[in-house]
Chain A
Amino acid sequence: MTSNTKSESINDFLKEKKKYVDISEFDSHFFDDIERRSKILTCIQCGTCSASCESGRWTALKTRIIIRKLILGDLSVLKDPDIWLCTTCYNCYERCPRDVRPTDVIIELRNYASKLGNIHPVHRKVVDYLKATGHAVPINDKIKQMRKELDMEEIPPTLYKFKDEENSDLTRYAKELFNLVPPKGEKEENKDTNKDKEKKA
């Protein structure tokens, strides 16, 4: 991995995640970061991404415009609920003639949006499940019964089965990974705009 920032030698997997309270705290490094990984400046605005978009056919997601805004340094993309409508189908990634890899850019933007606390409440719940069980989709009684009827082990040998071990892996997993920035006041507003968009879609 090449790096053009001062923090070159720092292990960004370990360091305390920088929390951004407000959009004004983003500096130009934000764009450098994305450009370094995804070469957004080579975009020729051809629109192949939007034309291929599985989500954009039905929603307000306009991939080309998101890339355009990014190039222009428009930080409003971080608050834009549309970035959460991408299904990660990778059509744009495959077809972009400049290899901008828009899917990766969107994931990158979502990571930054998350640092602002802009995460859908339902998505926060997925993380809660993950921390409580090691699974984004946990087991339930109905499935345990089904597994028995299929002559299988009632509980699969995943992290969940070993949750009660002393100093369990699950405890450490939950402590070290996916510690989300708590929600902020403006979150509610975002939710509503998105609901409207869905209705239109």
Chain B
Amino acid sequence: MVQDKKYAFYLGCIMPNRYPAIEKSTRYVMEKLGYELLDMERAACCPAPGVLRSFDKEDWMVAAARNICIAEKMDVDLITVCNGCFGTLQEVNLRLHEDEALREKVNEKLKLLGDYEFKATIEVKHVAALLSIDIGPTEIQEHLVRKLNATTAIHYGCHFLKPSHVRQIDSPEDPTILEDFVEALGIKSLNFKQKYTCCGAGGGIKAAYADTSMTILSEKMKHISEVNPDFILDVCPFCHLQFESGQDWLKKNHNINYDIPVFHLSQITAYCMGMDEKYMGLQYQNNGKKYELTPIEVQAND
């Protein structure tokens, strides 16, 4: 049995190295909910399920197992904030739990990387699943300092829910967990056309075929802008980066200035739980800088 109320905090690449405010917010949320987050020293890239898995899926699996081993040594479950990291770590963890022969092969290679052995003792969790399911819309209300009077366009991303038989979180065609959760924060989730499509960043496309990637995002942004949300809400730093850089790209190449702020679920939840606005990091982002949060203070109910 792993230790209760503690998680190994898996950082990945884009959150700590591009959007540290998401990391700050996640730490705030987890601490306020009574969890302790432990550092995973020497953890590396997950590795990315689209780009790096494409070159060598054996090495991809070994590198992912190595990260999971770090959490296993601490005897705690692992938590991530990113769909890509979750995609890799959850899938590899599951496969190595189920397949002993595969585990042995991976362990042999792991020896070459240091003192690592995959023992199949922990679980991999996405912070969005922890918040929206484990805590849930009812319990979170007990922890709110304020709600937000706002509308949002929710973006689930792909690897949070798919492949659904591996993830087993919610329906990939018609999910509702995030809508229910943000409603508890006072936020109205808006419906828009083709809500569940991909942001266009994955699979190594963003790096190698930027224009294609941006074309996919442009269509998405068009549909989002039609319903005029106060902000876009994502659960993945890579989608987050795509929404930010995509709006910049549209400004530069097509003279379209949507200027819609982009928040990760952690940032919004942290704010509603009392974190100072400056730690949400909107000042470091390129879009929606002028957006003013519209909080409604919550009466303490005890």
Residues on A close to B: CB < 8 A?
1, 11-14, 17, 54-55, 57-59, 84-91, 93-94, 101, 103, 107-108, 110-111, 114, 119-120, 122-123, 125-127, 130, 134-140, 143, 146-147, 150-152, 156-159, 161-162, 169-170, 172-173, 176-178, 180, 194, 198, 201
- Decide if B105 touches A146 in the complex (CB within 8 Å): no
Which A residues are CB-close (under 8 A) to B20?
A: 143, 146-147, 150, 152
- Decide if B63 touches A173 in the complex (CB within 8 Å): yes
- Decide if B215 touches A201 in the complex (CB within 8 Å): yes
The answer to the question of B246 belonging to the interface, with a C-beta cut-off of 8 Å to chain A, is: no
- Decide if B47 touches A130 in the complex (CB within 8 Å): yes
Q: Mark B188-213, 1 if CB is under 8 A from A, else 0.
A: 00000000011011111101110111
Cross-chain contact of A134 among B44, B102, B158 (Cβ < 8 A): B44
- Decide if B163 touches A178 in the complex (CB within 8 Å): no
The answer to the question of B39 belonging to the interface, with a C-beta cut-off of 8 Å to chain A, is: yes
- Decide if B54 touches A150 in the complex (CB within 8 Å): no
- Decide if B50 touches A87 in the complex (CB within 8 Å): yes
| A150-B198 contact given A139-B16, A173-B44, CB 8 Å threshold | no
- Decide if B17 touches A143 in the complex (CB within 8 Å): yes
Residues on B close to A: CB < 8 A?
11, 13-14, 16-18, 20-21, 23-24, 39-45, 47-59, 61-63, 66, 99, 101-102, 105-106, 108-109, 112-114, 158-159, 162-164, 172-173, 197-198, 200-205, 207-209, 211-213, 215-216, 279, 281, 284
Instruction: Please report the C-alpha to C-alpha distance between residue A159 and residue B40 in the assembled complex, in whole angstroms.
Output: 9
- Decide if B205 touches A87 in the complex (CB within 8 Å): yes
Which 9 interchain pairs have the tightest Cβ spacing? A90-B162, A110-B54, A134-B44, A89-B198, A156-B16, A88-B203, A137-B13, A54-B198, A87-B203
| A136-B13 contact given A90-B159, A114-B55, A157-B39, CB 8 Å threshold | yes
- Decide if B105 touches A85 in the complex (CB within 8 Å): no
**Closest beta carbon of chain A to B264's beta carbon, Å:** 14
**Closest beta carbon of chain A to B238's beta carbon, Å:** 9
- Decide if B47 touches A136 in the complex (CB within 8 Å): yes
- Decide if B55 touches A111 in the complex (CB within 8 Å): yes
Instruction: Please report the C-alpha to C-alpha distance between residue A119 and residue B208 in the assembled complex, in whole angstroms.
Output: 10
- Decide if B200 touches A87 in the complex (CB within 8 Å): yes
Cross-chain contact of B201 among A87, A90, A111, A135 (Cβ < 8 A): A87
- Decide if B55 touches A180 in the complex (CB within 8 Å): yes
- Decide if A194 touches B209 in the complex (CB within 8 Å): yes
- Decide if A173 touches B113 in the complex (CB within 8 Å): yes
- Decide if A11 touches B47 in the complex (CB within 8 Å): no
Which A residues are CB-close (under 8 A) to B158?
A: 87-90
Cross-chain contact of A176 among B49, B109, B202 (Cβ < 8 A): B109
Which A residues are CB-close (under 8 A) to B105?
A: 11-14
Instruction: Please report the C-alpha to C-alpha distance between residue A140 and residue B20 in the assembled complex, in whole angstroms.
Output: 12
- Decide if B55 touches A135 in the complex (CB within 8 Å): no
* Beyond A87-B200, A173-B113, 14 extra complex contacts between A and B, CB < 8 Å: A1-B99, A1-B102, A13-B106, A55-B212, A87-B198, A94-B163, A122-B207, A123-B204, A150-B20, A150-B21, A151-B24, A151-B279, A158-B16, A173-B44
Instruction: Please report the C-alpha to C-alpha distance between residue A103 and residue B211 in the assembled complex, in whole angstroms.
Output: 22
**Closest beta carbon of chain B to A198's beta carbon, Å:** 5
Instruction: Please report the C-alpha to C-alpha distance between residue A108 and residue B56 in the assembled complex, in whole angstroms.
Output: 9
Which B residues are CB-close (under 8 A) to A59?
A: 212
- Decide if B40 touches A157 in the complex (CB within 8 Å): yes
Most buried by B among A11, A137, A138, A139: A137
Closest to A83 in B: B54
- Decide if B58 touches A13 in the complex (CB within 8 Å): yes
- 15 pairs from A and B in contact (CB 8 Å cutoff): A12-B58, A13-B105, A87-B198, A88-B202, A89-B162, A126-B207, A135-B44, A137-B17, A137-B18, A143-B18, A146-B284, A150-B21, A162-B41, A176-B59, A177-B63
- Decide if A14 touches B56 in the complex (CB within 8 Å): no
Cross-chain contact of B62 among A13, A135, A136 (Cβ < 8 A): A13
| A58-B215 contact given A90-B162, A173-B44, A176-B112, CB 8 Å threshold | yes
Closest to A198 in B: B211
| A114-B18 contact given A13-B109, A84-B209, A93-B162, CB 8 Å threshold | no
